């Protein structure tokens, strides 16, 4: 499904368009994901993992757009995609139908201006409307900003995957498992 288009105004007055990226945006999504992977170590990929395949991204975006419950919350300034959030069913089996997984990233120069909180609120409201009972995510233990924002938006920390990530400098980071259980 695709969400209804809306606007978010940054503190400096610039206007952000929030809508769902579709297959037509595959190249923009690729550029965004490659850029955010290079900006911090908080994303799953490193640039050295190689370029993303726009065809595969387009397939994923088609599948999300055609799904009744999965959706994207994408942020654009002008024509450039600067925020990427996806909510997807954990697994299409009866015992998992109440659970959604969420991943998100915003370009560094647009962080810390309330956009992430806005996108998250929208995603949680839509997830509820789509029949999910909880939204789950994993976050790097040293990602203080993300952990703060997720807690502010109702997520709780339920567990930890020790040494889930080994960085290029040889140090490890735990993955913190969080969920927002709708009650």
Ligand X SMILES: CC(C)(COP(=O)(O)OP(=O)(O)OC[C@H]1O[C@@H](n2cnc3c(N)ncnc32)[C@H](O)[C@@H]1OP(=O)(O)O)[C@@H](O)C(=O)NCCC(=O)NCCS
The least distance separating ligand X from the CB of residue 150, rounded to whole angstroms, comes to 8
Query: Do the beta carbons of residue 13 and residue 73 sit within 8 Å?
Result: no
- Per-residue tokens: 43: 């994303």
Positions in 64-123 near ligand X (CB under 6 A):
104-106, 111-117
The least distance separating ligand X from the CB of residue 89, rounded to whole angstroms, comes to 19
Nearer to ligand X, 97 or 153 (CB): 153
- CA neighbours closer than 13 Å in the CB half-sphere of residue 58: 8
Q: Residue 148 interacts with ligand X (CB under 6 A)? A: yes
For ligand X, the binding residue among 19, 34, 35, 40 (CB under 6 A) is: 40
Nearer to ligand X, 105 or 126 (CB): 105
For ligand X, the binding residue among 75, 149, 176, 179 (CB under 6 A) is: 149
C-alpha distances (whole Å) from 24 to each of 31, 54, 62, 175 are: 13, 10, 9, 33
Residue 80: beta bridge partners?
Answer: 77
Tell me, rounded to whole angstroms, the distance of Cα 50 from its chain centroid: 20
Q: Interface residues with ligand X (CB under 6 A)?
A: 36, 40, 42, 104-106, 111-117, 139, 143-146, 148-149, 152
């Amino acid at each position: 499904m695709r969400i209804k288009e809306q606007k978010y105004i940054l503190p400096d007055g610039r206007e952000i368009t929030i809508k769902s990226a579709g297959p037509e945006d595959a190249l923009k999504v690729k550029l965004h994901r490659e850029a955010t992977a290079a900006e911090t170590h908080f994303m799953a990929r490193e640039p050295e993992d190689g370029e993303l395949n726009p065809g595969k991204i387009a397939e994923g975006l088609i599948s999300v757009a055609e799904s009744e419950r999965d959706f994207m919350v994408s942020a654009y300034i002008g024509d450039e995609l600067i925020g990427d959030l996806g909510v997807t069913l954990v697994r299409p089996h009866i015992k998992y139908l109440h659970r959604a997984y969420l991943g998100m990233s915003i370009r560094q120069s647009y962080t810390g201006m309330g956009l992430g909180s806005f996108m998250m609120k929208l995603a949680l409201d839509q997830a509820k409307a789509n029949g999910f009972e909880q939204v789950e995510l994993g976050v790097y233990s040293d990602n203080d900003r993300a952990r703060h924002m997720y807690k502010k938006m109702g997520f709780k920390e339920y567990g930890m995957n020790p040494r889930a990530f080994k960085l290029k400098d040889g140090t490890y980071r735990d993955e913190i498992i969080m969920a927002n259980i709708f009650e």
